Amino acid sequence: MISVNDFKTGQTILWNNAVWVVLEFLHVKPGKGSAFVRAKLKQLEKGNVIETTFRSSEKLATANVEKKEMQYLYKTSDRITFMDTKTYEQLEISENQIGEQVKYLKEGTNVYLLFFDEKIIGVDLPAHVELKVAETPPGVRGDTAAGNNKPATLETGAQVQVPFFVNIGDIVRIDTRNNQYIDRVKG
């Protein structure tokens, strides 16, 4: 058990029958009344983020989440195959277990699979991935106003907004946390 006063960013807890990770927290001591902790939590299995408050006297169970480094090998229909980088053992899981983050997986990418009670509860992707632009409308000459973007489909099927100078075949760096274009790596 851990007191909510001892929260740390990145800590995993058991709360409301699910495993959550602490994204942010703030200790609040109002002039009147008792102290409380305002926290932003992310559910590891579903990926939803909530903000909630805890009384400062509350204690929660810690969740021992195991991280295993795995390499993404390939996808067949709705099944995804990973390989343990240490034992070379292959693991096949459904696309639903990873959720939206599957759109950033490129063959050969190393990720961390998160396990709780021998069950996969999520995937920890690199913060940035480099992917090739598969489809985007051509940039029009003179249409280069700052801040304007156009849609692009990447080699994995992910859709992002990119600047007008990005063309089909260019390799771009994408932030996997917010689905934002960072820069053009090669083009």
Domains and CATH numbers, the chain: 2-62 (2.30.30.30), 66-124 (2.40.50.140), 128-186 (2.40.50.140)
What is the Cα–Cα distance from 96 to 120, expressed in whole angstroms? 11
Across the range 96-123, mean pLDDT stands at: 84
Interval 70-86: pLDDT, tens = 999 988 888 889 999 89
Q: Which of the two residues, 23 and 97, has the higher pLDDT score?
A: 23
Token pair 């400062």: residue: 56
Q: Is the dihedral of CA 7, 97, 134, 130 positive or negative?
A: positive
Three-class DSSP labels, 74-105: EEECCEEEEEECCCCCEEEEEHHHCHHHHHHC
* 154 — pLDDT class (breaks 50, 70, 90): very high
Least confident of 41-45, 94-98, 156-160: 94-98
Interval 16-40: pLDDT, tens = 988 998 989 999 999 888 999 999 9
What is the Cα–Cα distance from 11 to 64, expressed in whole angstroms? 10
Mean pLDDT across the chain = 87
Q: Maximum CA pair distance of the chain?
A: 63
Whether the predicted pLDDT of 175 surpasses 70: yes
* 152 — pLDDT class (breaks 50, 70, 90): very high
Contact 43, 19 (CB under 8 A): yes
Token pair 């409301």: residue: 16
pTM of the shown model: 0.70
Q: What pLDDT score was predicted for residue 140?
A: 67
